[in-house]
Structure 1
Amino acid sequence: MRATAKGCGGADCDSDPESQSRFCMGEAMSTAEKLLTVLWLLAALLIVALDLVGIDADLRSSYSNGVQLFAAYVSAFFCFRTSRSFPAGNAARQVWLLMGAGVVAWALGQSYFWLYGLLSGQETPYPSPADVGFLMIGPLFVVALLRFRFDAGLAAPLWAMLAAPLVLLAAAAMATYINLAGIQSGDWSIRLVSIAYSVADPLLLSVTLLVASGFGRGSIARSWWYVVLGIASFFFANQSYSALVFHDRYASGSAIDVLWPIGFGLIALGAARSRAAHSAGW
């Protein structure tokens, strides 16, 4: 199904070549955007480098948590900034608002996670109030993605309709296996949070697949592929974290921490690209 004026903010992507090049394919990245992207990647990859060379654990922890927190709040800023670029009543405004709210929820959880470690000198326990914020991002993103899908008039192909439930089941099985120790815990709080992670992350991944499958080559903004990749990075970060926690092998500053700032960086880039496309005439 092609994207109509309702979903594209006034641009008929399939029938208007100019709109297709401007909205569906997106404007070229500016030099400033390219520079910021490179700096973002270098800052994130430094987390891995510090872990590999065995830098002081406290320094690694502070740097990693700081980069994650900065990445989340910057990503939220870009989501809200993009939301405000659309007129009131435009569905895209609500979609990006929900995306921003989800990122802020995660950032608040990360703020608690980092502050607890700084003030106590210990690793933040699992679960903790931080997990409330971490878990909120999933439902808010799912609502945003589904709102985007229905408003843009995206029709998922048959293969995606069949694959999405299978991905949900496979991801849920993997997440359940990873979180099995927590699910079987005698502590109700650990059990509840572990079950929540086993459900929320696979649901987000399957919904992301369902929405992304309808993009096509001339149907929707390329900017949203950045968001899809960001969500995928977020999923693998969460599951890697859970696997390490239940094997007592996680410490703040571990190499897997890089997946969160990379994910939020991709979401921020998607928001910036969407705003640029809209400003250019979307």
Structure 2
Amino acid sequence: MATNAGAEDAGTTPPGRPGRGPAAPRWPVVLSVLALVGFFGWTAVVPPGGIEATVGGGVISTVTAAVAGVACLRAGRRTAGADRAGWSLLGAGMFCWAAANVVWQSYVLRHIYPVPFPSGTDAGFLSLVPLSVAGVFALARLGRSGIRVLLDGVIITGSLLVVSWVTVLGPTFEVPGQSAFAQAVALAYPIGDVAIASMVFVVLGRSERRNRAALGLVGLGMLGLAIADSGFAYLSQSGQWSTGTFANVGWIVGFMLVAHGARRARAAPTAANERLASVWLALPYLPLAVAVVSAVALEIIHGSVGTVVLVLVTLLVMFVVARQIVALRDNVVLTRDLQKMVVDLQQREEQLRFLAFHDPLTGLANRALFQDRLAQALLVRLRTPAPLAVLYIDLDGFKDINDRLGHAAGDTVLVRVADQLNTCTRSGDTAARLGGDEFALLLDSVPLPGVIAIAERIVRTLGQDIVIDAQTARPAASVGVAFHETGDTPAGDLLRRADLAMYAAKLQGKSRYVVYEPHLRDGIATVHPARPSG
């Protein structure tokens, strides 16, 4: 016998951890701690600057990158859909960095130092950037707000680059004798890492709640990688690089945090949180303000902001304008969606109100609406006397129609009867289906002769044949008529009188109407058969 035990085991919640999904693996924690301890131990016993220190630090950095890659891929296996794609892309980025570092260490082992720059290793290192950005966006599930979030990330990245260029990168990359391509590749490292870190933190406030802890750790890890790459670029350009510096620590810690973020990945689906806090709405403009202040300070101190800063600030202004346009478009779309939602809700409310007071098969008023209108009409009669009559209608032989032709044909007969009742009354009168094959009419301000004429018309009309699928049905009707008398007559009493008159019509041969008289309670009735048409 097929069971779903496997599916149940996959989503089992461990004891003591309600709602957090399967227990996260602990091996990334152990390996990361061992890597960090091993690095500090290695640098403590090996002289800095030598090949042993360089290779040792490189091996430990490669191991932590690989650990992060494996952790991300395992997180992808624990999840599904966009989450699986996101963690897989992050894992691929970690492995690209690890593979490039292995090639870089091979140059060192072959005493090819300094390592050629730019070289094929740079393609592997830089592949981390697009893969990580794509992975983070897949994990965030941003939907329609993705373009605005992307622009937020670009604005933050550009702003941080302006600040970084004014303070560190600008003086560092003004090194003579280096080709423009080499400078561009060297600059791509801090730019890429700042872009990743910026994207992660921008996306963090708009992501699903279950991914926030994981993305927060990934963001911290990317920030560590950004600091390490910027430090490596600065120390390499100034000739001060050696293993054991904070750059190595930044790489190791960065990959450790990414591994821990992957460890916190959750497979249990939760609803996305679309509410944007004010801090996240203002987030792109805070670094932008710092960038503008830095550019102004550079202009005041040196008399010129320089070409790079001028280009970056110009691009930032363009991206801010683009973001405002996108935000305006999103507001227009949101307003349109809200208006459509309001219209849909109003239509649904009207539909529910209709269903609450009308019969779903025939569309006539139901018993609740009929009794309410009858009660209102009786209240009016307390102040303004006017004729008021109730007709109670019961179909004769309807059970035979159901048994002979089927319930679908019976429903068709009920709908036809409802249509015929509407043709026999005025627009201001109320026709209702009380239940089963019982109907009622409320005739307001119709004099006695008019009520009698309507009763006769109903008996005559409902006595005609109805053809259904080449078969004939004749739903004859017995009608009881009750008139409102002067005084306070409860609605239930008036309806009961019409019911008694209808029952008297059935006892006297059916297919006729009876007007209620007080002595009907004693079994004496005046029976009025329908006059033949014409």
Q: TM-score range by the shorter chain?
A: 0.7 to 0.9
- Highest Rg: 1 or 2? 2
Asked if residue 42 in structure 1 is aligned to residue 37 in structure 2, the reply is yes
CA separation of 1:228/1:260 partners in 2, compared to 1, >3 Å: closer, same or farther?
same
After superposition, the C-alpha distances for 1:212-258 in whole angstroms (9 at most, x for unaligned) are 23358x55342332211111101100000011011111134434212
Structure 1 residues 181 and 221: CA distance shift in structure 2, 3 A:
closer
| Equivalent in 113, 123, 128 of residue 114 of structure 2 | 123
Q: Does 1:238 align with 2:233?
A: no
The corresponding residue for 1:196 is 188
* Aligned residue among 249, 253, 262 for 1:271: 262
2:138 aligned to which of 142, 147, 157: 147
Could you tell me which residue of structure 1 aligns to residue 480 of structure 2? none
Distance 1:248 1:80, change over 3 A: same
Asked if 1:247 corresponds to 2:238, the answer is yes
CA distance in 2, matches of 1:31, 1:70: 17
Q: Which runs of 5+ in 1 are unaligned?
A: 1-10, 12-16
State the partner residue of 1:7: none
Number of the residue aligned with 2:67: 74
TM-score by length of 1: 0.74
Q: Does 1:222 align with 2:213?
A: yes
Could you tell me the TM-score, scaled by structure 2's length? 0.41
Structure 2 unmatched runs, 5+:
1-10, 12-16, 270-534
Q: How many residues align?
A: 252
In structure 2, the residue matched to 1:5 is none
Does the 8 Å CA contact 1:113/1:124 hold for their aligned counterparts? yes
CA distance in 1, matches of 2:30, 2:186: 39
Q: Secondary structure at the match of 2:110?
A: helix
SS at the partner of 1:169?
helix
> Could you tell me how far apart the structure 2 residues matched to 1:91 and 1:125 are?
39
- After TM superposition, the structure 1 = structure 2 runs for residues 51-130 of structure 1, keeping only pairs within 5 Å, are 54=47, 57-87=50-80, 90-120=81-111, 122-130=113-121
| 1:135–1:196 Cα contact (<8 Å) kept | yes
SS in 2 for 1:120: coil
In structure 1, the residue matched to 2:297 is none
- Rounded to whole Å, the distance in 2 between the matches of 1:43 and 1:130 is 25
* CA deviation string 1:174-232 (max 9, x = no partner): 1574265547655143133134235323322221220123358x553423322111111
The answer on whether the counterparts of 1:57 and 1:253 sit within 8 Å (CA) in structure 2 is no
**233-242 or 256-265: which moved more?**
256-265
Could you tell me whether the CA contact under 8 Å between 1:48 and 1:258 is conserved in 2? no
- Please give the secondary structure, in 2, of the residue aligned with 1:222: helix
Name 1:3's counterpart in structure 2: none
Q: CA 1:186 to 1:220, structure 2 compared with 1: closer, same or farther past 3 Å? A: closer
Q: Deviations over 1:89-135 (max 9, x none)?
A: x1111001110111111112111110001012523233222111111
- Tell me whether 1:137 sits opposite 2:132 in the alignment: no
Partners of 2:133 and 2:199 within 8 A in 1: yes
**Does 2:165 correspond to 1:171?**
no
2: distance between equivalents of 1:165 and 1:112?
Answer: 34
Identify if the C-alpha distance between structure 1 residues 31 and 149 changes in structure 2 by more than 3 Å, giving closer, same or farther.
closer
Aligned-pair Cα RMSD in Å: 3.6
Q: The residue matched to 2:79 in structure 1 has which SS?
A: coil
Q: Distance in 1 between matches of 2:41 and 2:145?
A: 38
